């Protein structure tokens, strides 16, 4: 797995897209891996008849995990997530291919020397943009740098207001 | 989405805004079996979590998958001598009951990470209600949005993450 450094990143850069065929197993496995026992993530009848959705659907923490995989597939292991935010406009269902895409919104080095890439990320199915998100991920400023070595005041995961 | 006239928040709910509630210790310590299960669920091959040499070099030893943070906060489905099921994000369920909204869905999630969560950690959490909207109507039904934060700390008291959920509690029209 490559180790992306900040000098290899620029605004407007597209991340390699990720396509994955979502199945019922994907949804259930993801929910249970997150210890999310709510029935809309494993019980078709509850989801459809009680919640009014088309099928069971990906849970919130599982969507976060898919976004993490998408981002760190690109950065390699030295990429360290600082913040992720996403808004779920529509559900992600079994039986369709999920497509994850991302674009670099901003590249910066903060006041304590940490390199950051800010990303706009999406999760879509069949042309529907189901989830719109944002990720802020720390990247090494040079090959010997390691964002994971930052602690306390040297780690500022929230962007400056 | 249509908005009804923004009503005043009931006093008992307004008094809960920003108040720490449900300070709890996780029912499971951070452990690798669950970490690997979570990675397998999304086919995440990041060597930090699979290769001890990489973990030692980069993170000073094995750490948990950052986006698993809420997994450590969710109670067991069942436990001995428990007479009532414990629910995660109890504030969310309290509001559903308070407003008589039988259904709910999460609409937005934000997670900010601080110190890494390490294998063997035992996390504590507290919840804070941040806001509650007036009544609104969406394609799902009529209800309210609310924002709840969960703060996570390790056994040393270090802040490891803050998570914010926006929920929509509703009744189907």
Distance CA B65, CA A44 (A): 29
Contact (CB, 8 A) for B168 and B107: yes
| Domain-located, residue A84 | yes
- The proportion of chain A whose per-residue pLDDT surpasses 90, expressed as a percent, equals 93
pTM strictly above 0.90: yes
Query: What pLDDT was estimated at residue B172?
Result: 85
Number of H-type helices and E-type strands within chain A: 3, 5
Which of A19, A63, A68 to mutate to test binding with chain B, by most B CBs within 10 Å of its CB? A68
A90: pLDDT confidence band, cut at 50, 70 and 90?
very high
Residue with tokens 């986006």: B67
Which among B58, B66, B172 has the least Cβ separation from residue A78? Answer: B58
Q: How many CB pairs under 8 A join A and B?
A: 122
Q: Which of A135, A118, A68 is nearest to B71 (CA)?
A: A68
Interface contact A33-B40, CB threshold 8 A: yes
Return the H-helix or E-strand segment holding B59: helix B52-59
Three-state secondary-structure class, residue B163: strand
Contact (CB, 8 A) for B152 and B123: yes
- Distance, in angstroms, between A11 CA and closest chain B CA? 22
Q: How many domains does chain A have?
A: 1
Look up the CATH number of the domain holding residue A14. Answer: 3.10.129.10
Which of B55, B79, B109, B169 to mutate to test binding with chain A, by most A CBs within 10 Å of its CB? B109
Query: What pLDDT was estimated at residue B141?
Result: 93
Interface contact B46-A81, CB threshold 8 A: no
Which of A56, A64, A130, A149 to mutate to test binding with chain B, by most B CBs within 10 Å of its CB? A64
Three-state secondary-structure class, residue B13: helix
Cα→Cα distances A55→A48, B148, B172, Å? 6, 26, 17
Contact (CB, 8 A) for B163 and B153: no
Please check the confidence at residue A159 and state whether its pLDDT lies above 90: no
Query: What pLDDT was estimated at residue B5?
Result: 45
Tell me, what DSSP letter sits at residue B157?
-
A24 touches chain B (CB under 8 A): no
Mean pLDDT of A36-47: 95
| Domain-located, residue A1 | no
Query: What pLDDT was estimated at residue B160?
Result: 98
Which among B77, B114, B141 has the least Cβ separation from residue A155? Answer: B114
Tell me, what DSSP letter sits at residue B118?
B
What is the predicted ipTM? 0.96
Q: What are phi and psi of B113, to 5 degrees?
A: -105, 140
Please check the confidence at residue A37 and state whether its pLDDT lies above 50: yes
Distance CA B87, CA B85 (A): 6
Interface contact A62-B40, CB threshold 8 A: no
- Tell me which chain A residue has its CA closest to the CA of residue B85: A37
Residue with tokens 């394609």: B139
Interface contact A88-B108, CB threshold 8 A: yes
Q: What are phi and psi of A67, to 5 degrees?
A: -65, -40
Q: What is the mean pLDDT of chain A?
A: 96
pLDDT in tens, A53-87: 899 999 999 999 999 999 999 999 999 999 999 99
- Tell me which chain A residue has its CA closest to the CA of residue B114: A157
Contact (CB, 8 A) for B124 and B26: yes
* Residue B25, C-beta contacts closer than 8 angstroms, at least 6 positions apart: B122, B123, B124
Query: What pLDDT was estimated at residue A115?
Result: 98
A63 touches chain B (CB under 8 A): yes
User: How is chain B split into domains, by residue range?
Assistant: 2-171
* Residue A2, C-beta contacts closer than 8 angstroms, at least 6 positions apart: A76
| Structural domain that includes position A20 | 6-154
Contact (CB, 8 A) for B29 and B142: no
- Distance, in angstroms, between A71 CA and closest chain B CA? 11
The CA-based dihedral angle spanning residues B112, B116, B120, B123, taken in that order and rounded to the nearest 10 degrees: -30
Distance CA A7, CA A1 (A): 18
Give every residue of chain B whose pLDDT is below 70, as ranges.
1-7
Q: B2-171 — its CATH code?
A: 3.10.129.10
């Amino acid at each position: 797995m490559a180790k992306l450094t900040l000098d290899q990143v620029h605004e407007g850069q597209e991340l390699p897209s990720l396509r994955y065929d979502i199945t019922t197993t994907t949804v259930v496995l993801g929910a249970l891996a997150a210890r999310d026992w709510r029935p809309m993530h494993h019980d078709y009848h509850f989801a459809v008849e009680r919640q009014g959705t088309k099928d069971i659907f990906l849970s919130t923490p599982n969507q976060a995990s898919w976004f993490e995989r998408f981002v760190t597939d690109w950065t390699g292991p030295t990429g360290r997530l600082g913040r992720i935010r996403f808004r779920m406009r529509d559900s992600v269902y079994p039986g369709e291919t999920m497509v994850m895409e991302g674009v670099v919104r901003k590249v910066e080095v903060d006041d304590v020397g940490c390199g950051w890439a800010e990303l706009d990320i999406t999760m879509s199915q069949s042309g529907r943009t189901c989830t719109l998100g944002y990720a802020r991920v720390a990247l090494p400023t040079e090959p010997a740098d390691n964002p994971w070595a930052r602690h306390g005041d040297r780690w500022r995961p929230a962007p400056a207001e | 989405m249509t908005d009804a006239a923004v009503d005043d928040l009931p006093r008992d709910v307004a008094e809960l805004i920003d108040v720490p509630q449900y300070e709890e210790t996780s029912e499971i310590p951070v452990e690798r079996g669950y970490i690997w299960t979570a990675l397998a669920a999304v086919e995440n091959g990041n060597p930090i979590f699979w290769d001890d040499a990489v973990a030692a070099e980069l993170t000073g030893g094995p750490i948990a998958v950052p986006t698993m943070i809420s997994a450590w906060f969710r109670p067991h489905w069942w436990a001995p001598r428990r007479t009532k099921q414990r629910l995660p994000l109890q504030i969310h369920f309290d509001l559903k009951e308070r407003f008589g909204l039988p259904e709910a869905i999460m609409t937005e999630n934000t997670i900010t990470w601080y110190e890494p969560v390490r294998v063997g950690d035992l996390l504590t959490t507290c919840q804070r209600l941040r806001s509650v909207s007036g009544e609104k109507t969406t394609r799902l039904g009529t209800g309210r949005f609310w924002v709840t934060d969960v703060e996570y700390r390790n056994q040393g008291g270090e802040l490891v993450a803050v998570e914010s959920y926006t929920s929509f509690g509703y009744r189907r029209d």
